[in-house]
Amino acid sequence: MTDRSAAHHLAEERLDYLAGSLPDDAPADPLALFDVWMDEAFARREQHGDLSDPSAVVLSTVALDPGGVPRPRSRTVLLKGHDDGGFVVYTNLSSPKAAELEATPRAALLLPWYPLQRQVRIEGRVERLPAAESEAYWAQRPRGSQLGAWASHQSQPIDSRADLDARYAEIEARFEGADVPRPEFWGGLRIHPERVEFWQGRDNRFHDRIVYDVTADGNWQRHRLQP
């Protein structure tokens, strides 16, 4: 077997994790800590420019193959909101990820804020947003993004980039001079968090980890995990 890591010396890669720590008296509500970390992630982008998109989040779902074997799948999407009800993303509701979440309405989110040596992991159940909420966000989207949503049969094969560009041009012509309506196949998903972990890099790979779990009565239970 060819060792393809040799050219990059992956086994020799080392990074010192020295960015900070998580106190034992972290907030009782994970959303309060999430707000602080999100603000600090955007501040990092403004001050240093090395965290290009703090809202980028890895969404993981479970697909079942024809034999019923679970196959985890991940992709990067954009976090477009969060509140006491959960974390919101938008997508083509005819896409594979939407179908996977329809069949198994549970997901994991990962926000990897590498320059801050931090990550946030979120797990929970998923539901579709009411149409009114999807409409409100759709109205805020740039027109080009609206046209792109209409033009793309997300994740379906297409013969060439030229064919894809032709589809966009066709949609652009269709809606010329008019508002672009939200297609029925496009909308939002809310992930209701049941487990939230905050990970802070520390020296000697002795990282800090604090996790919040929802209890049976709907409250949060906080505890520290070993690295």
168 annotated ligand binder: no
114 annotated ligand binder: no
- Return d(Cα 98, Cα 48) in angstroms, integer: 35
61 annotated ligand binder: no
Instruction: Judge whether 44 counts as a catalytic residue.
Output: no
Nearest Cα neighbor of 17 from 200, 220, 141 is 200
Q: What single letter denotes the amino acid at residue 50?
A: D
91 annotated ligand binder: yes
207 annotated ligand binder: yes
> Which stretches does DSSP call E strand in the chain?
56-64, 70-78, 81-83, 86-92, 106-113, 118-128, 186-200, 208-214, 220-225
128 annotated ligand binder: no
> How far lies 169's CA from each of 140, 150, 161, 163, 220, in Å?
22, 11, 12, 10, 50
120 annotated ligand binder: no
Q: Which of 73, 143, 205, 224 is catalytic?
A: 205
Binding-site residues for substrate, in ranges, read 14-17, 80, 137, 141, 145, 205-207
**Active-site residues: which are they?**
205
Binding-site residues for FMN, in ranges, read 75-80, 90-91, 97, 119, 154-155, 199, 209
Binding-site residues, in ranges, read 14-17, 75-80, 90-91, 97, 119, 137, 141, 145, 154-155, 199, 205-207, 209
